[in-house]
Structure 1
Amino acid sequence: MSEAGIAAMAEAIFAKPGVAVAQAYSEPERETLYFRSPAELCAFAARLEREGDSCVLLAVHYPDMAGPFAPRRIALDPAKCAGRTYRYVCEGWGVIRVYLRLSGGKGLASNVGANSQKRAEKWQSHYPEFGSPDAWDWDAVGRHERRLVRVLKKVAAQEGLS
């Protein structure tokens, strides 16, 4: 995705007040980065691109979605992670994931997604750390997810990626 495409997605993400936007996964043994503006998010994506990363993976939460949104520390296997022992992840039943493939990246196409209420209820017993799916306003989750998907489709069409 081009710089203009990243900028369009960043503007769409921040279009609604009170949004919380964070790295879905922190760097090992570092705190989760939060973004306060489209410009901050674009600068982060540009830095990742310069460093050779292939994507930006975000966790997005709007106040009207309700539900908990906070990074959770997870353990890493130091033998498989160059001696690193932890990182943070932002996840939850209604958290919207935004995956933006950078222009030099290979692999999955950019996408936006969130769990549905039905899926959350089905998997609740497997992920008790996520709490109750009833804590989420699923209409709001779906509204925000669909809005971001529409913007992503428009960007993809403009860039010939659809």
Structure 2
Amino acid sequence: MQTTQNIRFAQLDRVLEAVFKDGNPIVKEAYSEFDSPTKTFLDVDALRTDMSFSPGQEKTFFYYAIYYPDTKGTVSERKINLNPGAVVGHSYRHTQEGWGLIFLQCDYRKFPIVKCRIAVNSPERASKWSGSSPEMSSPDSWDWKIVRRHAGRLVRLLRKLSKEVENDSDRPTAK
């Protein structure tokens, strides 16, 4: 299940609040900064602070992994050792792994429009790919009904917010 939608920066707070609305999630960077531990965001204020943006700022892409404990799956953090010289001055970073993790991506390159994407594996996709990642726990350990419930709630909100943007652009402007 996934969707990519364009929303206004002013609407982004509704998405962040929805992430924390239900299920006491653990939100982490999907990939840490180079040579740094992964940041964890325990509440909407911490996530909002990390995602703060000003036009002209260098960082325009934010990527998070959301784990809802009621989904019962196993999440792990893997250290990625970079090939020497691949990223000058850096040697590693961390990533989050788990078949039922929900990913949130926010791209600010067209600010004040934010391109938001919610993505999560289906149980079928996770089962198909599980053989290629034997270090990860079985996809069967996840409660996929609850994964779909959380992901679906966020997907529906993004689509609704995108429709609001579309509806506003359809209105005639005053002269």
Query: TM-score, normalised to structure 1's length?
Result: 0.88
Change (3 A) 1:77 1:160: farther
Aligned to 2:144: 138
Same amino acid, percent of matched pairs: 33
Separation of aligned partners in 2, 1:100 and 1:25? 14
Aligned partner letter, 1:42:
R
Change (3 A) 1:50 1:20: farther
Aligned to 1:147: 153
Separation of aligned partners in 2, 1:70 and 1:48? 33
**Hey, which of these two has a bigger chunk of strand by percent?**
2
Which secondary structure does the structure 2 equivalent of 1:128 belong to?
coil
Separation of aligned partners in 2, 1:110 and 1:126? 28
- 1:91-139: CA deviation from partner (whole Å, max 9, x where unpaired): 211100111222646xx94211111111111111111122211111111
Aligned residues of 2:100 and 2:120 also touching (Cα < 8 A): yes
Matches within 5 A, 1:47-126: 47=53, 51-102=57-108, 104=110, 109-126=115-132
Query: TM-score, normalised to structure 2's length?
Result: 0.82
Aligned residues of 2:23 and 2:70 also touching (Cα < 8 A): no
Separation of aligned partners in 2, 1:19 and 1:33? 14
Separation of aligned partners in 2, 1:22 and 1:49? 24
Give unmatched runs, 5+ long, in structure 1.
none
Give, in angstroms, the shift of residue 50 of structure 1. 6.0
Separation of aligned partners in 2, 1:160 and 1:103? 19
Separation of aligned partners in 1, 2:54 and 2:62? 8
Aligned partner letter, 1:143:
R
Give unmatched runs, 5+ long, in structure 2.
1-6, 168-175
RMSD of aligned Cα (Å)? 2.3
Q: Return the match for 1:7 from 3, 13, 22.
A: 13
Higher Cα radius of gyration: 2
